[in-house]
């Protein structure tokens, strides 16, 4: 089992245990014992709790001013750890931090000291609907959520969806998905992947997890707010606009032809003057290879055409031939692409 599969397994176990604590607070002992097994178990539990907090199901008990600040610094230190758990972004931590740092300056009467803990609030138990969807290589799936939102999953996609009366939250663990969100001004629809967060009220957009560092968001209609991991920077995307979040940083907003966005739902991939490097990146999930494009020196040349997803290797060979690329297989399935050296005229 590789590290990514192990991380996913731990995260799912942690999430199930956190939900169990919400249903029965007596289950916390089981969660505490599980998280002590290793540092990875502890990180998975922390991230699962942060993700659950984003749904508004976890609240802080009444804290003194000193304890609030103390817990805030603890959360801040965890959030900016040098080895973050990558599968779920630290949105819950950010929200908890912003709540904890709100301390009234005019408060004159000291609050009695109480434990600095985060407890599940059992007073009211709003209904939580949690779903987990996965597709394998070569498979697509369409699902309709209970709120009327439609979701299209592309090949090799893994996502979790949690819906309550006040929130709708998706965690994209891998792959690509298109969301046609049912408008609901009282329940924002949030999609988180790596360090990228997309927030909408009702629109149609695509979230594509390119790798463990980069996520791309494309908008078919409506408006989408996209933020980085700090949530200090947010960009508003409109129809046909695209942005990437790489290593927690937002790129410049670009435009992309609507014909390209979401064409994969019809079993094809469309390029209209797409730069060669970007075209190869988009094509890679439908091929048998991991593509290494570092040695292509003219990667901005435009690519146009329509290719069948199930014939991804044929499409790759056609592009390699047209753009004079040579490929060498390294390891099990890495294809290193190189630009052929132009021949000198006689």
Q: Encode pLDDT of 318-332 as tens digits.
A: 999 999 999 999 999
Strand partners, 224: 237
> For 131-153, how does the pLDDT look when each residue is reduced to its tens digit (9 = 90+)?
999 999 999 999 999 999 999 99
Residues 113 and 133 in one domain: no
Q: Name the average pLDDT for the chain.
A: 79
What CATH number is attached to the domain comprising 241?
2.60.120.1440
Residues 35 and 64 in one domain: yes
pLDDT reading at 7 higher than 90:
no
The answer to whether position 203 is within a domain reads yes
pLDDT reading at 64 higher than 60:
no
User: Is 246 or 93 the better-scoring residue by pLDDT?
Assistant: 246
Residues 145 and 192 in one domain: yes
pLDDT reading at 105 higher than 50:
no
pLDDT band at 198 (very low <50, low <70, confident <90, very high): very high
Kindly list the distances between the CA atom of residue 63 and the CA atoms of 70, 92, 98, 114, 151, in Å, as whole numbers in the listed order. Answer: 10, 19, 15, 6, 41
pLDDT band at 43 (very low <50, low <70, confident <90, very high): confident
Residues 153 and 237 in one domain: yes
Q: What crossing angle do the helices spanning 3-23 and 39-54 adopt, rounded to 10°?
A: 50
- Indicate the burial class of 51 (C-beta count within 10 angstroms; 0-12, 13-18, 19 or more): buried
Q: What pLDDT score was predicted for residue 52?
A: 63
Question: Mean pLDDT over residues 150-179, rounded?
Answer: 95
pLDDT reading at 205 higher than 90:
yes
Q: What pLDDT score was predicted for residue 35?
A: 86
The answer to whether position 76 is within a domain reads yes
pLDDT reading at 49 higher than 90:
no
Residues 101 and 36 in one domain: yes
pLDDT reading at 190 higher than 90:
yes
What percent of the chain is modeled with pLDDT above 90? Answer: 51
Q: What pLDDT score was predicted for residue 32?
A: 87
Residues 74 and 154 in one domain: no
The answer to whether position 344 is within a domain reads no
Q: What pLDDT score was predicted for residue 91?
A: 41
Q: What crossing angle do the helices spanning 3-23 and 28-35 adopt, rounded to 10°?
A: 160
Residue where one domain finishes, among candidates 68, 88, 120:
120
The answer to whether position 297 is within a domain reads yes
Residue where one domain finishes, among candidates 63, 90, 120:
120
Question: Could you tell me where the beta strands, DSSP code E, fall in 7-114?
Answer: 58-60
Distance (Å, whole) CA 74 – CA 100: 11
Residues 41 and 94 in one domain: yes
Q: What is the dihedral of CA 166, 192, 91, 20, to 10 degrees?
A: 60
Q: What pLDDT score was predicted for residue 139?
A: 97
pLDDT reading at 90 higher than 70:
no
Question: Mean pLDDT over residues 181-209, rounded?
Answer: 91
Residue where one domain finishes, among candidates 70, 99, 120:
120
Distance (Å, whole) CA 57 – CA 21: 11
The answer to whether position 87 is within a domain reads yes
Q: What is the span of the domain harbouring residue 63?
A: 3-120
Distance (Å, whole) CA 19 – CA 96: 18
The answer to whether position 346 is within a domain reads no
The answer to whether position 98 is within a domain reads yes
> For 305-319, how does the pLDDT look when each residue is reduced to its tens digit (9 = 90+)?
999 999 999 999 999
**Contact status, residue 207 vs residue 237, Cβ threshold 8 Å:** no
Q: What pLDDT score was predicted for residue 20?
A: 74
> For 67-79, how does the pLDDT look when each residue is reduced to its tens digit (9 = 90+)?
444 444 444 344 3
Residues 135 and 101 in one domain: no
> For 331-341, how does the pLDDT look when each residue is reduced to its tens digit (9 = 90+)?
999 999 999 87
In the block, residue with structure tokens 């209904």: 127
> For 234-292, how does the pLDDT look when each residue is reduced to its tens digit (9 = 90+)?
899 999 999 999 988 899 999 999 999 999 999 999 999 999 999 999 999 999 999 99
Q: What pLDDT score was predicted for residue 338?
A: 95
What pTM was estimated for this model as a whole? 0.63
User: Is 70 or 127 the better-scoring residue by pLDDT?
Assistant: 127
Say how many residues make up the chain: 346
Kindly list the distances between the CA atom of residue 265 and the CA atoms of 81, 152, 216, 262, 296, in Å, as whole numbers in the listed order. Answer: 38, 7, 17, 6, 29
Q: What pLDDT score was predicted for residue 46?
A: 80
Under DSSP, the state recorded for 340 is: P
Q: What pLDDT score was predicted for residue 286?
A: 97
Q: H/E element holding 43?
A: helix 39-54
Residues 36 and 147 in one domain: no
The answer to whether position 261 is within a domain reads no
Residues 152 and 235 in one domain: yes
What percent of the chain is modeled with pLDDT above 70? Answer: 73
**Contact status, residue 36 vs residue 43, Cβ threshold 8 Å:** no
Backbone angles phi, psi at 47, to 5 degrees: -70, -35
Residues 234 and 282 in one domain: no
* Range in 125-134, 163-172, 214-223, 308-317 the model is least confident about: 125-134
pLDDT band at 342 (very low <50, low <70, confident <90, very high): low
Residues 251 and 289 in one domain: no
Kindly list the distances between the CA atom of residue 145 and the CA atoms of 20, 126, 162, 292, in Å, as whole numbers in the listed order. Answer: 23, 18, 10, 37
**Contact status, residue 216 vs residue 178, Cβ threshold 8 Å:** no
Task: Look at the chain and report how many structural domains it folds into.
Answer: 3
């Amino acid at each position: 089992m590789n590290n990514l599969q192990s991380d996913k397994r731990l995260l799912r176990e942690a999430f199930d245990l956190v939900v169990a604590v919400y249903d029965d607070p007596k289950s916390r002992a089981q969660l505490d014992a599980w998280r002590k097994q290793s540092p990875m178990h502890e990180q998975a539990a922390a991230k699962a709790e942060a993700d659950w907090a984003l749904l508004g199901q976890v609240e802080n008990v009444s804290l003194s001013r000193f304890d609030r600040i103390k817990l805030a610094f603890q959360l801040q230190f965890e959030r900016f750890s040098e080895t973050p758990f990558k599968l779920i972004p630290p949105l819950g931590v950010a929200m908890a931090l912003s709540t904890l740092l709100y301390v009234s300056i005019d408060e004159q009467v000291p609050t009695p000291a109480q434990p600095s803990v985060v407890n599940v609030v059992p007073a009211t138990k709003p209904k939580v609907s949690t779903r987990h969807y996965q597709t394998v290589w070569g498979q697509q799936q369409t699902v309709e959520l209970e709120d009327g939102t439609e979701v299209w999953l592309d090949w090799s996609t893994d996502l979790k969806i949690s819906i309550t009366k006040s929130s709708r939250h998706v965690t994209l663990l891998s792959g690509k998905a298109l969301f046609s969100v049912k408008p609901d001004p009282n329940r924002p629809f949030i999609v988180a992947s790596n360090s990228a967060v997309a927030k909408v009220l009702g629109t149609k957009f695509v979230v594509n997890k390119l790798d463990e560092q980069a996520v791309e968001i494309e908008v078919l209609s409506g408006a989408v707010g996209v933020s980085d991991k700090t949530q200090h920077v947010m960009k508003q995307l409109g129809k046909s606009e695209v942005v990437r979040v790489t290593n927690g940083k937002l790129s410049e907003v670009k435009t992309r032809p609507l014909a390209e966005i979401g064409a994969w739902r019809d079993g094809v991939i469309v390029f209209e003057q797409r730069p060669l490097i970007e075209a190869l990146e988009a094509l890679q999930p439908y091929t048998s290879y991991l593509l290494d494009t570092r040695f292509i020196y003219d990667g901005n040349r435009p690519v146009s055409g329509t290719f069948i997803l199930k014939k991804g290797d044929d499409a790759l060979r056609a592009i390699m031939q047209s753009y004079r690329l040579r490929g060498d297989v390294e390891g099990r399935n890495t294809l290193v692409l190189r630009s052929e050296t132009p021949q000198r005229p006689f």
